[in-house]
Amino acid sequence: MTGARNPAKDPVIDALILDLLEWLAKGERSYEQVMEAWRTSCPRLTVWEDANDRGLIATEQVNGRKLMRPSLAGLALLDQRYPRQ
């Protein structure tokens, strides 16, 4: 299929996904904060969607708020790319 995007092979998207995961790992983020910072209408820049499709983001409800954080897979990817000393 020509013209289909393959997010697993796009180094720009991969780098931005790592940025997103690092940002989420630094502290509690509401869904609204994440959408304000990371949602885009550009069909070629699908960081949020690709991270979700890959299972890298987890959502939880805390005191009626929808909070976002890296999933276990997201944390594993961060550890793989940036090993802790």
pLDDT digit string, tens, across residues 42-57: 777 788 889 999 999 9
C-beta of residue 31 within 8 angstroms of C-beta of residue 61: no
Tell me how many degrees the CA angle 28-30-36 measures, rounded to the nearest 5: 120
Domain regions of the chain by residue span = 9-81
pLDDT of residue 43: 72
**pLDDT per residue as tens digits for the range 4-37:** 444 457 888 899 999 999 999 999 899 999 988 8
Confidence of residue 1 (pLDDT cuts 50, 70, 90): very low
Q: Residue 2: pLDDT band by 50, 70, 90 thresholds?
A: very low
Q: Which of 81, 78, 66 is nearest to 58 (CA)?
A: 66
| Contact present, 70 and 21 (Cβ < 8 Å) | yes
**Assigned fold of 9-81:** Arc Repressor Mutant, subunit A (1.10.10)
Q: Is 23 helix (H, G, I), strand (E, B) or coil?
A: helix
CA distance 39 to 82: 25
Which two three-digit tokens encode residue 6? 């393959």
Q: What is the DSSP letter of 27?
A: S
pLDDT band of residue 77 (cuts 50, 70, 90) is very high
